[in-house]
Structure 1
Amino acid sequence: MSSARNAAFVSVSQAGKIAVSLVSIVVLSRLLPPADFGVYAMIIAVVGIGELFRDFGLSLAAIQAPSISTSQRTALFWASTGIGVALTLVAIAASPVIGGFYGRADLAPLVCVAALTFALNGAGAQYRVELTRSGRFRDLAVVDLAGQGVSLTGAIVLAAVGAGAWALVVQAVLLGLTMLVALLLLGRWLPGRPRGFGEIRPFVGFGGQLMSVQLISYVSSNLDKILVGRLFGAAWLGLYAKAFQLYSQPVMQGVTPFANLAISVLSQVRDDPRAYLRRLLKLQLVTVYVGLAGFALMIALAEPLTTVALGPQWSATVPLFRILCIGGLFQILGVVYYWMFVSSGAMRVYLVCTFITQPIAVVLVIVGATQSTTGVAWGAAAGLLVEWLVPATWGTAKAIGAAGSLLAGTIRPLAVAAIIGLLAFAAVELTAAGGPVVQLLVGVAVPAAVVVPLMMLLPGVRADAAVLRGVVQDAAGTRLRRRVPA
């Protein structure tokens, strides 16, 4: 199956997941108070670190490998499953410590149940790798949508009967369980008995480097939530976590799932520098235009968007949400560099970049935490700026030597995003009397009415639009326009 068709299936899957996520945000935010979301965020901020160890980075190592033998597949399955089970047991044993850290003994049973996700996700990791490597993105879409739908239904039922934070914990477990069952049914493969793990040493080496980077990144990106929960309590953490959830939707649901496809596509031509750069520039162009425009809109529409999505009782999330979305602009700019480091095999460079940027990001969050939850948000946003700048300059020059080309490719998308944001903000201010729904509709319509003609008039932006249109046409099965503008 072609990369374009695969991208189409991933797009359909993501559209469905975004729709389910929006329903989840709107419905559960009205059924549960901020404190319940804060309790769940306390658990995930600490326990979630185990997800990084879940398969020791073996999944991405296997995806980017040129080939995998049957015995290697089996060894990878048992390794991922064993690590997942071990992490479940460790989290259960550590549950009293986690409860003690936050001063809440009631967290321990919630942690024990949430820990089951490690074992479930570990058992399904290699099945997901096999579907990705064989280009079966339609089946992956089925798996993801089934998991999202079943888990959300369970959470809504439990929240409606007063289960509180348990509804969110059960949602996570149901997601892992449903996806594992779907992967087993669609996988068309059964692992053999474990016969040793010597054949997967190359995967362990690559995965270990990747996991080291992810571990450091996880600590810095979740320290904000840990500090808010520890210093300001569950209610404030619930507000911060909800703002973070709204901000992260474009990245987690709209961009992150394309990582495996992007890495796979780039890995195919990593021995041809010119072809590799062309593909990388095209991926960057699509990602930054869509991502930056989305975050610009969210910054401008933060107040009416929060009111419509969450309800007026969540108004304190507005400034937090807006600040985090400013950081999201830099996160979108940095996504392509992660794809580049993994697909080109430049993990040592990536590791050095991480060791440079993450301590700075941690210090910025800690400094912000001495002030307020708003200070924490500003620290997190400033950290994302640092995490983009170092890979975009020094890291890219070391990895592929094309830092200038990638940076130049962001100029027009940034300019278009700025125009979109300013127009949307003006529209929101001028229609304040009409209510949040009117503000949202006008805030989206006005930038669209101005930017679409603009893309037709300016030569550089028009050339970018041609590439974007070509990607859409290719995903629909028509001829890809392969030229990437300078």
Structure 2
Amino acid sequence: MAGSLAATAARGSVVMLTGQGMRILLQFLSVVTLARLLSPHDYGLIAIVAVLIGVGEIFRDFGLSSAAVRAPELSRAQSGNLFWINSAIGLLLAALLFGLAGPLAAFLDQEEVYGIARAMSVVFLLNGATTQYRALIVRGLRFRWLAGVDVLAAAFALAVALLSALLGWEYWALVAQQITQAFVVLIGVFLGVRHLPGLPRRGVPMASFLRFGGNLVLSQLVTYATSNVDTAVVGVVHGASPLGLYNRAYQLVVTPLSQIQSPITQVAVPILAKIQEDRPRFSAYIVRGQFALGYPISLGLATVAVAAEPFTVLLLGEQWTAAVPLLQLFALAGIARNLAYVGYWVYVVRGLSASLFRYSMVTGAIKVLCVVIGAQWGVVGVAIGFAIAPWIAWPISLAWLSRVTDVPTRSLYAGALRIIGVSGLSAGMAAVVVAALPPLPALAEIAIVCGVVLAMLGALLTVPAFRRDARVLKETVGLLRHRSAN
């Protein structure tokens, strides 16, 4: 059992990370190409509606996908009822957004928002029908199929967006991208399950799913609302064009981070759910997960922070250089957010959605306070508040979790501090080297920053603690290669 779970976890991680790597590549390709065909104003208009879509998506899921994945037993009748619940919520949200399109456009004084909101209400319908099909695929540990569907959907959506932009559709190209992606995902997950849900049935035990989902959706709603308070402040106070600038920097840093965390979570949650009663093994998996996420992502974000200007010029063009400080601040925020992420797995696996909701309320208040204070200094001030908040919340996260369940708190704190130390020292040395050099082409400067970071990593391997961490990472990578080869 232990070996098969390790093999499944390893294979699933390889498949999902490979698929997600392809999606991130498509995301970057989308940013690079569409940013040259569309204006910041176009992106700002979509970002306004996307905030509402994001809030609605939390209600549309209602935590029921996670409830289905973690459930020890899931009957066909229960799965069918969950499908109809999610579909009904999707229909309700689509009708609500369709009806609110006019008032929203009038409130924002952006008449284009009227058509955008009505068109994008279709996304709720498509995603509502997708939810439980996707959960069944994850529950069955069929990560290869899911990764293929996600990549194919992203590729189709990008192709539609590019064609539409070239035809002069402006912001409608981005609307077409969103709808296409949701439609292709629905078709893909349906083909992966290949059965229609039965009619809703009474007398089927559903209370545990709804109770878990209700608490989880509350915590997700708080997290989403507070995570997007910065976008709302920029959009309302500064308008669509500054919001488009802010959104592009966000898409380059924070969105890829979420895209890496999401597939790993889809692998981690069902695997951890099967071993949660084996406390030593569970703790070992959590610590290993922190290393696997923490070191590569933190080092990558530190590199982006140092080389923000050449990255911006290379990926977006000279007209987007005002986004450089935003890119740097988002990278710093991403390091702290990533270090706290393994705690989310524990909350979900152990069914602690009520505790997660209370924790989200506290950290959400911190985020809102930081952003509101930062807003006094404009768009960059908002980004500063966004960056400071997770560094305040991160040390709270593990302490809060340790109050409600057993977690290897000391190991997680110590590991995180080493990750921060390695990333900070590497980025600091790279910044010193870049500052001493004359202006260089973007690619050359990025190459130098990466080279200095790698050289610093080599030097830090002389420290025993870092050498032990490197050994754990090497073992993890070796396991992934071995299992993927098999």
TM-score (norm 2): 0.95
Asked if the contact 1:34/1:235 (under 8 Å) is kept, the reply is yes
Alignment map for 1:88-127 (pairs within 5 Å): 88-127=94-133
CA distance in 1, matches of 2:383, 2:321: 16
Within 5 Å, which residues of 2 pair with 1:353-364? 353-364=359-370
Q: Secondary structure at the match of 1:218?
A: helix
CA distance in 2, matches of 1:451, 1:287: 17
What is residue 211 of structure 2 aligned with on the other side? Answer: 205
TM-aligned CA distance change 1:47 to 1:2, over 3 Å: closer
RMSD over aligned Cα atoms: 1.7
Residues 425-484 of structure 1: CA deviation (Å, up to 9, x unaligned): 2343344422111101111122113313533x322222211211222222223599xxxx
Other-structure match for 2:463: 458
Q: Which residue of 2 aligns with 1:349?
A: 355
Q: Is the 8 A contact 1:304 1:436 kept in 2?
A: yes
Contact 1:250–1:291 (CA under 8 A) maintained in structure 2: no
State the match for 1:375 in structure 2.
Answer: 381
Partner of 1:135, secondary structure, is coil
2:76 corresponds to: 70
After TM superposition, the structure 1 = structure 2 runs for residues 7-406 of structure 1, keeping only pairs within 5 Å, are 7-196=13-202, 198-406=204-412
Paired AA for residue 279 in structure 1: Y
The answer on whether the counterparts of 2:301 and 2:335 sit within 8 Å (CA) in structure 1 is yes
CA distance in 1, matches of 2:166, 2:484: 49
- The 2-side partners of 1:61 and 1:430 are apart by 54
Q: Distance in 2 between matches of 1:146 and 1:336?
A: 28
Q: Percent identity?
A: 32
Instruction: Name the CA distance, whole Å, in 2 between partners of 1:34 and 1:454.
Output: 42
Structure 1 unaligned segments of length 5 or more: list them.
481-486
**3-state DSSP class of the match of 1:434?**
coil
Cα distance in structure 2, aligned partners of 1:240 and 1:432: 29
> Which amino acid in structure 1 is aligned with residue 371 of structure 2?
V
Which deviates further from its counterpart, 341-350 or 273-282? Answer: 341-350
Conserved 8 A contact 2:245-2:320 = yes
User: Which whole-Å CA distance do the structure 1 matches of 2:381 and 2:402 have between them?
Assistant: 31
TM-score in terms of structure 1 length: 0.95
Aligned match of 1:420 in 426, 440, 447? 426
| Contact preservation (8 Å) 2:78, 2:204 | no
> Is 1:467 matched up with 2:476?
no
Give the counterpart letter for 1:399 in structure 2: T
Q: Deviations over 1:206-240 (max 9, x none)?
A: 01100000101111111111111111111100001
Hey, what's the Cα distance between the residues in 2 that align with 1:365 and 1:276? 36
Aligned pair count? 479
Structure 1 stretches (4+) deviating beyond 4 angstroms?
none
2:425–2:456 Cα contact (<8 Å) kept: no
In 2: Cα distance, 1:164 partner to 1:196 partner = 48
Tell whether the 8 Å contact from 1:77 to 1:191 is kept in structure 2 after alignment: yes
